[in-house]
Structure 1
Amino acid sequence: MSAPDATQPVAGLPELVSLQVGLDGPVAEVRLLGPGKGNAMGPDFWRELPQVFAALDADPRVRAVVLTGSGKHFSYGLDLPAMMGSWAPLLAGDALAGPRTEFHGEVRRLQDAVSSIAACRKPVIAAVSGWCIGGGVDVITAADVRLASADAKFSVREVKVAIVADIGSLQRLGSIIGEGHVRELALTGKDVDAARAERIGLVNEVYPDQDTLLAKARELAAEIADNPPLVVQGTKQVLAANTERQVAEGLRYVAAWNSAFLPSKDLQEAIQAFLERRAPEFKGE
């Protein structure tokens, strides 16, 4: 799969670690790089994502954006070991208001990073191959259109690690796939293949392989870019008005919820099991 054309840099961007950005005519391409395995989302990603989409929003040359992963996968989701430092004060014993307030701010920061995709006035097409787990689903639900290759697999997996998903999936998926499907995926944490993702409307189209997927995503972005740019931006903003208040209220609520209720023996067990590569044993404590 060819890399984005980096000969046309996007204005206003610092040197990036977790994302690669290129511009081919009016279409920008953003690629997740990791550096964690499977493009896992660590501190660099959460810092750089809003910087990138603010720059794309501000660059008048950009009329559409393709968002994809590098390598075989879109993203394994949150890089748990890399992000644990911000959680440690909350999980250390009986956390009082200070650690809970700091954690609440951290959740809101991650939410805002993902919301920068939805807030970008330029339409965003997510092209998904391989695994798209947890935070990966948060990211693609903030995009305008989702496409997949036949090997794509999706999972709202937070429940499996004793966490209420809090970065956007629970707030945005309902308007994409409907409440029944959201509840099934979020309450089970099950994996969904590309064929079912297409059936329930999570993705618009499924293509046979990664190269075809990216070519089709670029074609769709170019088709959008051919339309009057201010009208395209206005259409995206008017469509967003249908759900943005509900999404914003849901994000505020879940940030407060997790700041109050996230610490648990089950979460500690989930983390320990993850580090020890074994199945967790949850006890509702």
Structure 2
Amino acid sequence: MSQQYESLTVEVNDHVAQVTLIGPGKGNAMGPAFWTEMPVAFGELDADPDVRAIVLTGSGRNFSYGLDLVAMGDTIGGAMSGEVSARPRVEFHGKLKRMQQSITAVADCRTPTIAAIHGWCIGGGVDLISAVDLRYASADAKFSVREVKLSIVADVGSLARLPYILSDGHLRELALTGKDIDAARAEKIGLVNDVYPDPEATLAAAHETAAEIAANSPLVVHGIKDVLDEQRTADVAASLRYVAAWNSAFLPSRDLNEGIAAMFAKRKPEFTGE
């Protein structure tokens, strides 16, 4: 790889790339660097003929805490603006579309991607793993589509892509409650393919599968992904456009302010529907 990144590292060995989230936010939270660098990194990997499979993982104790609310204050601030003017809504819509593209770059990559997940995978972390081809989890992994707890409709990929991974009832339960689920439950409902005893075994299993994929014809592997993705590409794109417009119009609310304030204060939010 020709570039150095702030939010991730990339290593390539024997036709397999490992992309490791490194923050810089706590728990590999997704700050400005992540949203800028992810499409660049995956675009470069997609164009590299030496890379035939990609393993995606997180550094430290967790996969990702999701959106870094502190570092992304400008973006969230625009959404929370109480101005009557349309400009803040238009600017937020543009920023949101660019953030969506950062996750879509992973989904659109012709090279198969396997996520090795350990620790927490929250919010944006679930958006990210919904864009990969295969998901392996460590027994300590925990998952949460937690945006509802902040009074946010998840808007960068999980609600668009999880319908092709989970049954409708399981998806609605996760999205409407914001509950946490463990790796065993994630495997039972089909969110992850397999569960391994610890992070090291999970990463090793992901690399083993990546090596199997890399041993196959790259042209045919790309073709398989293209054919499989064709069945859902238009629906996912339409869902992303719709939620971007919906959140640009309706996200600013007293409940959003309350949800974020409650999170930082580590208390239960009191929503009023305003």
Q: Classify the TM-score, shorter chain.
A: over 0.9
2:55 aligns with one of 57, 60, 66: 66
The equivalent of 2:253 in structure 1 is 264
User: How many Å apart are 1:274 and its aligned residue?
Assistant: 2.1
Q: Counterpart in 2 of 1:81?
A: 70
Q: In the alignment, what sits opposite 1:193?
A: 182
Q: For 1:125, what is the secondary structure of its paired residue?
A: strand
CA displacement 1:103-150 (0-9 Å, x = unmatched): 001111110000000111000000100000000000000000000010
Matched residues in 1 for 2:190 and 2:211: separation? Answer: 22
Q: What residue is the counterpart of 1:143 in the other structure?
A: 132
- For residues 55-204 of structure 1, the aligned pairs below 5 Å read 55-204=44-193
3-state SS of the aligned residue for 2:260? helix
Provide the C-alpha distance between the structure 1 equivalents of 2:100 and 2:84, rounded to a whole number of angstroms: 22
1:226 is matched with: 215
Aligned amino acid, residue 106 of structure 2: I
Task: State the alpha-carbon separation in 1 of the partners of residues 106 and 81 from structure 2.
Answer: 33
**Which structure 1 residue ranges, 5 or more long, are not aligned?**
1-9
Aligned CA RMSD, in angstroms, stands at 0.9
The answer to whether residue 267 in structure 2 is matched with residue 278 in structure 1 is yes
2: CA distance, partners of 1:150 / 1:166? 28
Q: Alignment partner of 2:261: what SS?
A: helix
- Residue 201 (structure 1) shift: 0.7
Q: What's the counterpart of residue 238 of structure 1?
A: 227
**Kept after mapping to 2: 8 A contact 1:22/1:30:** yes
Which residue type is aligned with residue 5 of structure 2? L
Is the Cα contact below 8 Å between 1:89 and 1:95 reproduced in 2?
no
Matches within 5 A, 1:196-215: 196-215=185-204
Paired letter, 1:197: A
State the one-letter code of the partner of 2:73. Answer: M
2: CA distance between counterparts of 1:209 and 1:257? Answer: 40
TM-score, normalised relative to structure 1: 0.94
Instruction: Please state how far the C-alpha of 1:179 moved relative to its aligned partner.
Output: 1.1
SS in 1 for 2:12: strand
> Displacement of 1:25 after TM fit?
1.2
Using the TM superposition, give the Cα deviation of residue 96 of structure 1 relative to its aligned residue in structure 2, in angstroms: 2.0
Q: Which runs of 5+ in 2 are unaligned?
A: none
C-alpha displacement of 1:90: 3.5
What is the match of residue 33 of structure 2? 44
Q: Equivalent residue for 2:15? A: 26
Cα distance between partner residues in 2 of 1:89 and 1:42:
16
- How far 1:280 sits from its partner (Å)? 1.3
Amino acid at match of 2:224: T
- Secondary structure, counterpart of 1:113 in structure 2: helix
Distance 1:192 1:242 in 2: 29
Quote the offset at 1:89 in angstroms.
Answer: 3.3
Give the Cα separation in 1 of the matches to 2:18 and 2:156. 23
SS in 2 for 1:82: coil
Give the deviation of 1:269 after TM superposition: 0.8
Of all paired residues, the percent bearing the same amino acid is 62
Q: CA deviation digits over 1:182-232, x for unaligned, max 9?
A: 101000000111001111111011000111111110000000000000100
What code does the residue aligned with 1:186 have? Answer: A
State how many pairs are aligned.
274
Q: Partner residue of 1:7? A: none
Taking the aligned partners of 2:79 and 2:187, their CA distance within structure 1 comes to: 39
- Structure 1 position 255, deviation (Å): 0.1
Match of 1:3 in 2: none
